[in-house]
Amino acid sequence: MTVIRTGRRSGPNRREERERVSRGEAVLRWVLMLIAVAVVLGPLLWQVTTALKGPGESTAGFPGSLVPSEPTLDNFVTAFTQIPLARYLLNSGGIAALGVVTNLLLATLTGYALARIPFRGRNVYLAALLATAALPFEVILVSTLLVTRNLGLQDTLVGVVLPQAVSITSIFVMRQAFRGIPDELEEAATIDGAGPVRTFLRIMLPNVKGSLAVITVLGFLDSWDHFIWPLVILSSPEKYPVNVGVQYLSGAFSADQRVISAAALVVIVPPLLVYMLMQRHVFSGLAGGALKG
């Protein structure tokens, strides 16, 4: 997988371009970019101010209402005490942790076999994976529900995790990564007397660290975003992951908008943090992967 770093260019090219941008163009670009950012961030900032508003304050009335007049953190406290937000976060955390571990482990094993172990039926399996990569989950939603229910996994966190325990994308990412390791490296290890397990752990894995990071982060974000499957397989609201829980609360009871806004912000923070910390490494890789198919 080619890694394209957003925003990075070769040195001379970059300098040249910076000189070429006229003052007028720079101003125009900045104005347009700020408009775009306002459209993207506006709804979020409004949620923040709503979440900070006191109970006596109106959430309506432009433009005065955009800034809370009696800011308070009570809504966040209420979100954790009056509604089971902590419980939901715990569920999501558990689902995400399990999902990330299974995805890492299984994608690494399968990707390695597909890249470096010739076995009978490998191409058939590869073709089956490619074919099903385009299959929308919704198509098999009802049948997957039946299978999971028959296994007695309905309304369990394991039932939430297992059907999406490994993503085909992750398998392909790992396959690409292992394919990129030169044969000579493996040969050298063998000649030095390393067994297959040692070779795998000491030579192979350290060489695919970057890809492991990519599928860890993507696995987490993916799991945090899952909605339709947990909604379908879980019947007890106390087992809901956080984004299913928040929509359930906002729909089931006409709850206080300030509290729901606070809860929604709490749900969004973990993936945003991961994104902020990892974007340089991961999303450039994601874009590269998407381009290379």
Which residues between 125 and 154 bind another protein (CB under 8 A)? 125, 128, 132, 134-136, 138-148, 151
What is the Cα–Cα distance from 96 to 93, expressed in whole angstroms? Answer: 5
Which residue, 61 or 206, is less far from another protein as judged by CB? Answer: 61
The token pair at 186 is 């493996």
Q: Is the peptide bond before 136 cis (omega within 30 degrees of 0)?
A: no
Tokens 């956080």 locate to 242
Other CB atoms within 10 A of residue 63 CB:
6
- Residues binding another protein: number (CB under 8 A): 107
Counting contacts by CB under 8 A, is residue 267 touching another protein? yes
Tell me the closest approach of the beta carbon of residue 20 to another protein, in angstroms: 9
Counting contacts by CB under 8 A, is residue 97 touching another protein? no
Footprint of another protein on residues 37-96 (CB under 8 A)? 37, 39-44, 46-47, 50, 59-63, 65-66
Footprint of another protein on residues 5-24 (CB under 8 A)? 6-9, 13-14, 17-18, 21
The token pair at 158 is 């394991």
- Find the part of the chain contacting another protein (CB under 8 A) among 70-78, 83-91, 114-122, 203-211: 114-122
Half-sphere exposure of 270 (CA within 13 A, CB side): 20
Footprint of another protein on residues 171-190 (CB under 8 A)? 171, 183, 186-187, 190
What is the Cα–Cα distance from 77 to 262, expressed in whole angstroms? Answer: 9
Measure CA of the first residue to CA of the last residue in the chain; give whole Å.
10
What is the Cα–Cα distance from 242 to 217, expressed in whole angstroms? Answer: 18
What is the Cα–Cα distance from 45 to 60, expressed in whole angstroms? Answer: 15
Which residue, 98 or 140, is less far from another protein as judged by CB? Answer: 140
- The pairs formed by 71-74 with CB atoms below 8 angstroms and a separation of 24 or more are none
Which residue, 74 or 155, is less far from another protein as judged by CB? Answer: 155
Footprint of another protein on residues 188-207 (CB under 8 A)? 190-191, 196
Q: Mark residues 210-249: x for contact with another protein by CB under 8 A, - for none.
A: -----------x--xx-xx---x----------xx-xx--
